[in-house]
């Protein structure tokens, strides 16, 4: 059963890009993000671990200009203060970060809150505590988060069935593995290297968007 009014549309979860500057090539980080949104990315999360606050806020503001141009939501990973300071649309937190209910109090009712979960229990609790969408994973092994535990297809499907808010799968998703998620009930996929490690980010995003559309509709 659909919620009466979802703050985050299920369509905006179709291709969720998590940034990683590890693979910066000839183009700037801003150009990479713009190429991805042009190619079909529907949601962007900035994930930076080792960056000073002021630099992070500046980066967030620069990326927000790009995502606003393409009407794509922007969230900051983990850092609530940066998300608020740079004017991001929201924040995404994991199970080891601040409690979802505490984050909701800090960001207010209008900002987007995403929460990473691995079980039905975590999913239901996150929804109850104010999450607008869920990230579930790792659905496949991934080189970008070596400590991530695997989530089975059955658990992924059970989570989608249990909640009314949008669900995106993450972890080791590529153009080859995405088809394995068909029928799970997810609203889209979150990827890192499948976009940002590619030579042609626009083309990679476009292909993944088409594959995700097919997977969800299938």
Angle at 125 between CA 150 and CA 96, to 5 degrees: 55
The residue annotated as part of the active site, out of 12, 36, 116, 184, is: 116
Provide the CB-side half-sphere exposure for 151 (13 A, CA).
27
Terminal alpha carbon distance of the chain: 19
Q: How far apart are CA 16 and CA 183, in angstroms?
A: 19
In Å, the largest CA–CA distance within the chain is: 46
Residues 6+ apart with CB under 8 A from 99: 129
- The candidate with the shortest Cα–Cα distance to 113, out of 89, 149, 95, is 89
The residue annotated as part of the active site, out of 10, 47, 129, 157, is: 47
Q: Which residues pair with 44 in a beta bridge?
A: 17, 74
User: Active site includes 116?
Assistant: yes
User: Active site includes 61?
Assistant: no
The residue annotated as part of the active site, out of 10, 129, 145, 175, is: 145
Instruction: Look up tokens 């409690």; give the residue.
Output: 99
User: Active site includes 129?
Assistant: no
In this structure, are residues 82 and 55 in contact, taking their beta carbons and an 8 Å threshold?
no
Peptide bond into 169 cis (omega under 30): no
With residue 135 as reference, give the H or E element that holds it.
strand 133-136
Kindly list the catalytic residues. Answer: 47, 116, 145
């Amino acid at each position: 059963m659909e919620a009466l009014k979802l703050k985050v549309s299920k369509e905006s979860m179709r291709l969720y890009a998590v940034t990683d500057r590890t693979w910066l090539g000839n183009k700037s980080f801003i150009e990479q993000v713009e190429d991805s949104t042009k190619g079909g990315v529907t949601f962007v999360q900035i994930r930076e671990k080792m960056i000073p606050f002021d630099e992070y806020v500046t980066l967030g503001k620069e990326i927000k200009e790009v995502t606003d141009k393409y009407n794509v939501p922007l969230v900051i990973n983990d850092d609530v203060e940066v998300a608020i300071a740079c004017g991001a649309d929201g924040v995404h937190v994991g199970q080891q970060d601040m409690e979802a209910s505490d984050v909701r109090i800090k960001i207010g009712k209008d900002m987007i809150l995403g929460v990473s979960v691995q079980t039905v229990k975590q999913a239901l609790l996150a929804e109850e505590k104010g999450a607008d969408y869920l990230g579930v994973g790792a659905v496949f092994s991934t080189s970008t988060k070596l400590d991530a535990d695997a989530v089975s297809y059955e658990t992924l499907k059970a989570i989608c069935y249990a909640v009314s808010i949008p669900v995106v799968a993450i972890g080791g998703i590529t153009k080859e593995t995405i088809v394995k998620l068909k029928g799970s009930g997810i609203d889209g996929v979150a990827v890192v290297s499948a976009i940002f490690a590619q030579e042609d980010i626009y083309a990679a995003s476009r292909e993944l968007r088409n594959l995700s559309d097919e997977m969800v509709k299938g």
